[in-house]
Amino acid sequence: MIGFDNTWLRSLPGSFLRLDPDVAPDPKLVVWNGDLAAELALSPEVQRHAARWFSGAEVPPGAEPVALAYAGHQFGGFSAQLGDGRAHLLGEVLGPDGRRWDIQLKGSGRTPFSRGGDGKAALGPMLREFLISESMAAMGVATTRALAVVITGETVWRDGGALPGAVVARVAASHIRVGSFQFFAARGEDDKLRALMDYTIARHYPQLSPGDGLGLFDAVTRAQAKLIAQWMGLGFVHGVMNTDNMALSGETIDYGPCAFMDAYAPGTVFSSIDRQGRYAYGNQPLILGWNLARLAECLLPFFDADEARAVTLANERLGAIAEIYRDEFLAVMAAKLGLGAPDAALTDDLLLLLPGEDWTQFFRALSEGRAVAPALQDWQQRWRALGPDLAAMQQVNPVVIPRNHLVEAALEAATLGDMAPFTALLAELRRPFAPAAGREAFALPAPEGFGSYVTFCGT
């Protein structure tokens, strides 16, 4: 059995609505994450029941399904009530190390938070979440992960077309978001806000004392700065960095219109709805600060009992975010460049020279001692003079990332019933740093004619 616990329900009344997922009429397991199941020490019985338990067809023993409530700034505009419009939190499981993990179904039906949506999901976006999150995990990035994808036997309609419906079972350190805090703050429910703060501290930052809002803010700032620096180092564009998509655990959450850059361009946008480039690749560090400012607004009463002092402390923290992020990013770049210490001038000069070069292939070429483009050769000589550790570079600079053309090809084939391209791509993404020999097709950028890439939220 799974052995669910439900501390969220006991600790945070008013933050959820109890309801069961929609019943899937004909569920079939499409993908099972055996590696993740082993890490969670789930019994083989769980896989045998996965099609029904992780589709909504049957509530697993011990689970108490709920839809979580939260608020959020979406593309800068505030909504006081968003919530899980197509997701159901089943409960929490304890891993062998005692860590607590949420298991949530996504695409599992309408809730009171659906805002006119059907609460369903198509197979392609659910498989995308599986692929991208497994790739991120393999590259050492803190992330939610997919335990299973199940087709429901229903048809969903998107853009006038019929697609197979599916549910993904997502595993997360928790689903506590900045928007979770905004939900109670917007309602002036300070007691519930304090309870959420203390729950977050106990679950994610137990080194802190209950009530330590300033300590919590500092810990989240460090975790998120590290995370965004990792994204930037890999050329990853999240695509929808709304406050309800920033997890206080420091994990990457909600793989909707995300993608990886091929050619380096700070203005890269993939999301079909990000018409102003708010969440462009190069803007992600700025949005980090903006989202943390919204969190600070929620936590302000817990920074200090004196309001003026609390505001001063908040402004000091917010003013330091850019430097904290900069230190994390330079550390990421030092590792990518095989240097024992960050070199800000070398990094900044590289980024001025790099536009148009394939981000992933450039760093891998450096790590293998190959020559780079003529315009970068003077820079390469400066770098070589520092004695970089090429072997160490090959452990952090991937050969294989989820190239957009390969992801799309895999998802299109899977939608038509052919899982072979998906399975092959997943296998390569799970060993990102292995040499390219024998798998060059997974390492190359999109062929000419692929065109600009557009992603969607998958709703």
The answer to whether 398 touches 360, Cβ cutoff 8 Å, is yes
Tokens 């997890």 found at: 247
244 is annotated as an active-site residue: yes
Q: How far apart are CA 215 and CA 316, in angstroms?
A: 13
Q: How far apart are CA 312 and CA 28, in angstroms?
A: 55
Nearest to 299 by CA among 285, 313, 319: 313
**365: how many CB neighbours lie within 10 A of its CB?**
18
Tokens standing for residue 314:
């908040």
For residue 210, the 8-state DSSP code is T
Nearest to 263 by CA among 446, 455, 408, 454: 446
Q: Is 411 exposed, middle or buried (0-12, 13-18, 19+ CB in 10 A)?
A: buried
Q: Kindly name the residue from 84, 102, 118, 244 that is annotated as catalytic.
A: 244
Q: How far apart are CA 219 and CA 445, in angstroms?
A: 37
Rg of the chain taking only CA atoms, in angstroms = 22
Q: How far apart are CA 134 and CA 149, in angstroms?
A: 13
Tell me the catalytic residues.
244
